[in-house]
């Protein structure tokens, strides 16, 4: 999906056909379907398709998702125009506390710009299930990617205001929902708070089990059984106070 969207929007931009117009939708959908077929052909050639009979249903669903995404693009005229696709950022330095900085690198799926006033926003496509509570942004320090994208967009467009970076769950499965972090000082300050808490915890060498979100952890076998019990015993350790405060951040 990402590869199709990158190629499609790059072509549309090169031809001066952005923002997407309703009267061009049919042509654009056809082109998207072709690109999707090409991606599946490449995957099949490379042996990445386990059983050819399974492909059609998946491809049909992806095609329907692409169609709906394009319809929403054409209908959602809000002054922003897709401008860059899969841009890389590197050596993105962020001083999260006096004299303490981290450097980030990565890719953004898409950057949209608007004029009058000059604004930019980041879009990151997601294919999975929408899992956010309404008030969530940083999820106790687990989710910092959107805030880092705000920094990356500001570096890429220094004369623009960064309005937001957003996860766009661009499938029927994700119900085309959006989770956004606004490009405000508040978001930057929260990112500082998260990074400071993490850095302090690491610097203090307090690698106690916290055991409040182990489902996605690759180290469960190393951590072993009874981790919840060990975590409960460690919770009062003053060296972990900043970490637990970070866990309260929405
Ligand atoms: S399994 Fe252990 S290391 Fe992994 S998240 Fe849980 S407590 Fe932390």
Question: What residue spans define the domains of the chain?
Answer: 2-75, 81-190, 193-247
Distance 243 CA to ligand 1 centre (A): 14
Distance 127 CA to ligand 1 centre (A): 26
State the chain's mean pLDDT as an integer.
Answer: 93
Q: How confident is the model at residue 56 (pLDDT cuts 50, 70, 90)?
A: confident
Closest atom of ligand 1 to CA, residue 227: 7
Question: Can you state the angle between helices 52-75 and 25-45, rounded to 10 degrees?
Answer: 150
Provide the pLDDT for residue 239. Answer: 86
Q: Which stretches within the chain are classed as H helix?
A: 2-14, 25-45, 52-75, 145-156, 185-204, 220-223, 227-234, 241-247
Q: How confident is the model at residue 65 (pLDDT cuts 50, 70, 90)?
A: very high
**pLDDT per residue over 67-91, tens digit each?**
999 999 999 888 999 999 999 999 9
Whether the per-residue pLDDT at 208 is higher than 90: the answer is no
What is the distance in angstroms between the CA of the first residue and the CA of the last residue of the chain? 30
Residues 50, 51, 57, 62: is their CA dihedral positive or negative? positive
Probe target for ligand 1 pocket from 140, 142, 198, 210, with the most ligand atoms within 8 Å of CB: 210
Probe target for ligand 1 pocket from 223, 233, 247, with the most ligand atoms within 8 Å of CB: 223
Distance 103 CA to ligand 1 centre (A): 25
**pLDDT per residue over 19-32, tens digit each?**
999 999 999 999 99
Distance 232 CA to ligand 1 centre (A): 13
**pLDDT per residue over 132-143, tens digit each?**
999 999 999 999
Distance CA 26, CA 91 (A): 41
Enter the pTM of the model: 0.92
**pLDDT per residue over 86-129, tens digit each?**
999 999 999 999 999 999 999 999 999 999 899 999 999 999 99
Provide the pLDDT for residue 157. Answer: 98
Q: Ligand 1 — pocket residues by CB below 6 A?
A: 209-211, 214, 217, 219-220, 223, 227
Closest atom of ligand 1 to CA, residue 210: 7
- How distant, in Å, are the alpha carbons of 73, 132, 145, 218 from that of 93? 33, 28, 14, 28
State the average pLDDT over residues 180-207: 93
């Amino acid at each position: 999906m990402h590869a199709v969207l990158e190629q499609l929007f790059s072509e549309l931009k090169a031809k001066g056909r952005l923002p997407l117009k309703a009267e061009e939708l049919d042509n654009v959908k056809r082109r998207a379907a072709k690109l999707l077929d090409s991606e599946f052909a490449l995957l099949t050639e490379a042996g990445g398709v386990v059983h050819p009979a399974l492909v059609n249903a998946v491809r049909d669903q992806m095609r329907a998702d692409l169609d709906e995404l394009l319809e929403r693009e054409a209908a959602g005229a809000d002054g922003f125009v897709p401008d860059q696709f899969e841009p890389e950022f590197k050596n993105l330095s962020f001083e999260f506390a006096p004299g303490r900085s981290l450097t980030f690198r990565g890719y953004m799926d898409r950057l949209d710009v608007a004029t009058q006033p000059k604004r930019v926003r980041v879009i990151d496509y997601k294919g999975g299930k929408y899992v956010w509570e309404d008030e969530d942004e940083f999820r106790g320090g687990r989710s910092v990617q959107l805030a880092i994208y705000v920094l990356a967009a500001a570096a890429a467009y220094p004369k623009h205001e960064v309005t937001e970076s957003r996860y766009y769950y661009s499938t029927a499965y994700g119900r085309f929902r959006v989770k956004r972090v606004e490009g405000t000082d508040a978001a930057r300050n929260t990112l500082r708070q998260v990074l400071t808490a993490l850095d302090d915890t690491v610097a203090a060498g307090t690698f106690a089990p916290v055991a409040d979100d182990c489902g996605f952890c690759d180290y469960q076998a190393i951590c072993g059984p009874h981790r919840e019990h060990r975590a409960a015993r460690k919770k009062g350790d003053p060296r972990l106070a900043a970490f637990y405060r970070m866990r309260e951040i929405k």
